[in-house]
Amino acid sequence: MKSKLEITFISISFIFTALLFIIIGSLFFMPSLQGFIQSLFSEEMATAFKLTLSTSVIAALSVILIAVPTAYSLSRYKFPLKNIVKSILDLPMAFPEIILGIALLMLFGNNLFGNFLQNLGINIVFTTTGIIIAQFFVAFPYAVRIIYSTFNYINPRYELVSRSLGYGEFETFKNITLPLAKSGIFAALVVTIARCIGTFAAVLLVGGGTYLRTETLPIAIYYNLSLGNIDMAITASIILILISFAAIFVLEKYANENTG
């Protein structure tokens, strides 16, 4: 027989889960069928979808490549200012995303550093490259945090045994540590892709949100909602919901396969 506390807690979880489901699900019934189909196959939606996916995948893979050695160094090594480095990496998760966008815009805009890059033929602001950079720095702290926790969970004795058997540090990392951490790294990759796809303020400021050029799905929602094109805005929202659901489904399926 269930206790009163158990029944209460389960009821609370079901009530608010149902409420969240109703709120999100209501979007699927708002646009007309004709308006949804027209918006779905419009040039703007196709361009925004392709741009969002391509930049998010590139940014996410870049994040993982940098986050793995960063997280491992924080987990295994002792070095000066380590706590300060950890705090700085966690900082973007604490303040609004728009602050990071402003900082990137000021850094790569018309100033000394931005002009230096432009003289080299490297344009960042209001380009696809700017979108990728914005997505990278927004998602990077989340990936580091997940992978850092994963490395902390792995017992260092496995690595010590490998080293005692004559394997080098890199061989141990490649053949022992990385296979043990693959679940956490995969989880970080899925979360990173989802975070990159949903990035709005930083991408808008650095990428510019130019129509049919640097307009991602979140920016398409903002623009069309501002213009009163509700069907287009809701269609973009539905696409983002489906992408997020697919990412979570893959993550949960992979986690269950590795724990089962």
- Domain of 51, CATH number, reads 1.10.3720.10
Q: Give the chain's domain count.
A: 2
Give the burial class of 81: count Cβ atoms within 10 A of its Cβ; 0-12 exposed, 13-18 middle, 19 or more buried: exposed
Query: How many other CB atoms are found less than 10 A from the CB of residue 86?
Result: 14
Instruction: Tell me: do 25 and 39 sit in the same domain.
Output: no
- The one-digit pLDDT tens for each residue of the chain (260 residues) are 678 888 899 999 999 999 999 998 888 888 788 888 999 999 999 999 999 999 999 999 999 999 999 999 999 999 999 999 999 998 888 888 999 999 999 999 888 788 888 888 889 999 999 999 999 999 999 999 999 999 999 999 999 999 888 888 999 999 999 999 998 999 899 899 999 999 999 999 999 999 889 999 999 999 999 998 999 999 999 999 998 888 778 777 766 655 55
Could you tell me which of 125, 129, 128, 133 has the C-alpha nearest to residue 106?
Answer: 125
Instruction: Tell me: do 19 and 73 sit in the same domain.
Output: no
Instruction: Tell me: do 88 and 21 sit in the same domain.
Output: no
Instruction: Tell me: do 51 and 11 sit in the same domain.
Output: no
Range of the domain at 9: 1-29
Q: Are 172 and 161 in contact (CB under 8 A)?
A: no
pLDDT score at 134: 96
pLDDT score at 236: 93
Crossing angle of helices 82-94 and 43-76, in 10° steps, is 160
In angstroms, the CA 235 to CA 49 distance is 11
Instruction: Tell me: do 193 and 205 sit in the same domain.
Output: yes
Query: How many other CB atoms are found less than 10 A from the CB of residue 180?
Result: 15
Instruction: Tell me: do 7 and 59 sit in the same domain.
Output: no
Instruction: Tell me: do 103 and 11 sit in the same domain.
Output: no
Q: Which two tokens stand for residue 171?
A: 């061989």
pLDDT score at 100: 93
CA angle 208, 118, 92 (to 5 degrees): 50
Instruction: Tell me: do 5 and 63 sit in the same domain.
Output: no
Instruction: Tell me: do 7 and 43 sit in the same domain.
Output: no
Instruction: Tell me: do 144 and 37 sit in the same domain.
Output: yes
Q: Which two tokens stand for residue 101?
A: 């966008």
Query: How many other CB atoms are found less than 10 A from the CB of residue 97?
Result: 21
Instruction: Tell me: do 100 and 20 sit in the same domain.
Output: no
Instruction: Tell me: do 215 and 116 sit in the same domain.
Output: yes
Q: Which two tokens stand for residue 233?
A: 């805005």
Please tell me what DSSP assigns to residue 109.
S
In angstroms, the CA 199 to CA 138 distance is 7
